Amino acid sequence: MSGAGRRRVVVPVSGGGSNLQALIDAAGAPKCPFEIVAVISNRPGVRALQRAAAAGIPATVIDHTGFADRETFDAALSDAIAGFQPDYVALAGFMRVLTAGFTERWNGRLINIHPALLPSFTGLHTHRRALEAGVAVHGCTVHWVSAGVDEGAIIGQGAVPVLPGDTEDSLAARVLAMEHRLYPACLTALCTGTPALPLAMLGQAG
């Protein structure tokens, strides 16, 4: 798809940015229906910013520690995002709870990837909790973002097995590899108006 026809995606990040990288890599394909037009980090110096720079994508830091409260930070973030006129805002490891004012402003355009099969394991430490619960299948979810944390409607999911001997780290790595497949697939599905097919890596190590 030509650059002019692609959906514009802004990616807020907080850290390593491996999901950002997966989106950047997908957008490099000639027929990809989206382009990453900006990356915004709430933390300076994170690897995600280097990834954006390496790909020639405008990267901005809006350091949340410089704001008095969530409302003023979210307003600044919102205005910065709006400046890039996005069709979608794809949170990728963005580790801030967003205010209702923010989620309402971006309602219908704001998506997130969560490292669990929602509605199980909302919040943090999902892999540890999955191991403690003894589930045999774990994974990740791309969902619309609403005012309730990790509560928006599901767009797509990717499943991975929990294997004997798994640790939090080994399970996290398996889920992260699935995240890198799922996020571009779901964003592509949204941009093309097609359903996001479930992905699975079951009954095998990986």
Which residues are identified as catalytic? 114
Site for ligand GRF in 90-109 (CB under 6 A): 92-93
Distance separating alpha carbons of residues 206 and 203, to the nearest angstrom: 10
Q: Which of 8, 18, 149, 168 binds ligand GRF (CB under 6 A)?
A: 18
- Burial of residue 108 (number of CB atoms within 10 Å: 0-12, 13-18, 19+): exposed
Q: Output 1 or 15, the one with its CB closest to ligand GRF.
A: 15
Residue 17 near ligand GRF by CB under 6 A: yes
Annotate each residue in 134-163 with x if it binds ligand GRF (CB under 6 A) or - if it does not, as one string: ------------------------------
Distance separating alpha carbons of residues 79 and 91, to the nearest angstrom: 16
Q: Which of 15, 58, 181, 199 binds ligand GRF (CB under 6 A)?
A: 15
Site for ligand GRF in 53-92 (CB under 6 A): 92
Report the residue closest to ligand GRF, judged by CB: 93
CB 186 within 8 A of CB 154: no
Residue 122 near ligand GRF by CB under 6 A: no
Question: Which of 7, 187, 10 lies closest to 81 in space, CA to CA?
Answer: 10
Q: Which of 26, 77, 174, 179 binds ligand GRF (CB under 6 A)?
A: 179
Which amino acid is present at 171?
Answer: L
Which amino acid is present at 98?
Answer: L
- What is the maximum alpha-carbon separation in the chain? 49
Q: Output 81 or 142, the one with its CB closest to ligand GRF.
A: 142
